């Protein structure tokens, strides 16, 4: 059987990316994993039925949801919007550890006995976040319920994502890491809309996520724009991502 060329591979992966089954970094390991957030509509509907939605809070862009060191007493669920997670060491050095979109949980470490938040969560666009008390969350996590299934999928997806991020950091160039980060961020949008990063994310934040410098991010972003991989919306600052960017990630 003849091997596929890079264009054929890119076309196949574009189709898989659109259905949520594409891997965003090359590997020889076999896996059936999908980086898909829990289905927000079904989970929110379930929470409505069990009278949890009344604890919903709204946050403005750049508003702190919780800070590192705050008491960890509840689990949060993003109904709409996007949230940035960051960690700061004793010297004040800060690193962005993730961007979460609608349908994701955060602060779930309290269920494992965490007493204080180990990171800071900030809304990067207007967001609605459901706050669920720790004891209430434990009560709702009944095997077979919609919430149990979504929460389990969330934990599994988050664990696999951490492993892939580690491999990505070790094996890939900063340019490929940036391309993969942009594609993953685009997943925060709705599947029936063009792949797009809705919130305006600074290049400093991207540099922290990728593990490189801002000048390098600026250089790569300009290159991606010239190649037609990305397009800026001058009015809103949104960034449209062309799925052809996958071709760069897949190149050996």
**Residue at 12 is within a domain:** no
- What is the model's pLDDT at position 6? 32
Same domain, 59 and 97: yes
| Of 182, 75, 79, residue with least CA distance to 129 | 79
DSSP classification of residue 66: E
Nearest alpha-carbon partner for 123 in 200, 206, 219: 200
Residue 81: closest CA among 142, 115, 40, 141:
40
Residues 144 and 82 in one domain: yes
| Residue 46 resides in a domain | yes
CATH code (residue 234)? 1.10.10.10
Tokens of 203: 């290049």
pLDDT score, position 110 = 94
Residues 132 and 187 in one domain: no
Do 123 and 180 fall within a single domain? no
Is 30 domain-assigned?
no
pLDDT in tens, the chain (252 residues): 443 333 343 344 344 444 444 444 333 333 333 333 445 545 665 566 555 545 889 999 889 999 999 999 999 999 888 898 999 888 888 888 888 888 889 999 999 999 999 999 999 889 999 898 998 888 888 887 777 888 888 888 888 877 887 777 788 899 999 998 888 887 644 444 556 665 677 888 888 888 889 999 999 999 999 998 888 876 666 788 887 888 888 776
CA-to-CA separations, 153 to 8, 57, 132, in angstroms, rounded:
31, 24, 18
Residue 9 is assigned to a structural domain of this protein: no
Report helix, strand or coil for 147.
Answer: helix
- Residues 200 and 129 both lie in one domain: no
Distance CA 82, CA 245 (A): 22
pLDDT per residue as tens digits for the range 115-165: 999 999 999 889 999 898 998 888 888 887 777 888 888 888 888 877 887
pLDDT of residue 190: 44
**Residue 225 · residue 209 · CB < 8 Å:** no
Rounded CA-CA distance 188/196 in Å is: 8
235 HSE (CA, 13 A, CB side): 0
CA distance 176 to 229: 13
117 lies in some domain: yes
- 79 close to 100: Cβ distance less than 8 angstroms: no
Q: Is residue 183 in a domain?
A: yes
Query: Does pTM surpass 0.85?
Result: no
Instruction: Please count the structural domains in the chain.
Output: 2
The domain that holds 102 is classified in CATH as 2.60.120.10
The verdict on 132 and 193 lying in the same domain is: no
For residue 233, what are the domain limits? 173-252
Whether 156 maps to a domain, the answer reads no
pLDDT for residue 45: 59
Question: What does DSSP assign to residue 3?
Answer: P
Per-residue model confidence (pLDDT) at position 148 = 83
Q: What is the model's pLDDT at position 245?
A: 85
């Amino acid at each position: 059987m003849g091997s596929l060329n890079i264009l054929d591979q890119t076309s196949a992966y574009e189709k898989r990316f659109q259905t949520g089954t594409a891997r965003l970094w090359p590997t020889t390991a076999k896996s059936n994993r999908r980086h898909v957030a829990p289905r927000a509509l079904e989970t929110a509907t379930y929470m409505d039925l069990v009278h949890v939605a009344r604890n919903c809070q709204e946050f403005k862009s750049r508003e702190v949801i919780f800070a590192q060191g705050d008491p960890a007493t509840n689990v949060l669920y993003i109904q709409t919007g996007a949230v940035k997670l960051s960690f700061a060491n004793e010297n004040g050095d800060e690193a962005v550890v993730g961007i979460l979109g609608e349908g994701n949980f955060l602060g779930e470490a309290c269920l494992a006995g965490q007493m204080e938040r180990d990171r800071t969560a900030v809304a990067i666009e207007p967001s609605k976040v459901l706050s669920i008390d720790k004891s209430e969350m434990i009560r709702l996590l009944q095997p077979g319920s919609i919430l149990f299934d979504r929460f389990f999928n969330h934990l599994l997806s988050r664990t696999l994502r951490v492993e892939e991020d580690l491999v990505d950091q070790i094996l890939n160039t900063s340019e490929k890491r940036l391309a993969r980060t942009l594609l993953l961020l685009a997943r925060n949008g709705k599947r029936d809309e063009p792949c797009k990063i809705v919130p305006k994310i600074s290049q400093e934040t991207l540099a922290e996520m990728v593990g490189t410098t801002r000048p390098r991010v600026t250089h790569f972003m300009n290159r991606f724009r010239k190649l037609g991989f990305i397009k800026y919306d001058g009015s809103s600052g949104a960034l449209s991502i062309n799925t052809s960017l996958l071709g760069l990630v897949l190149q050996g």
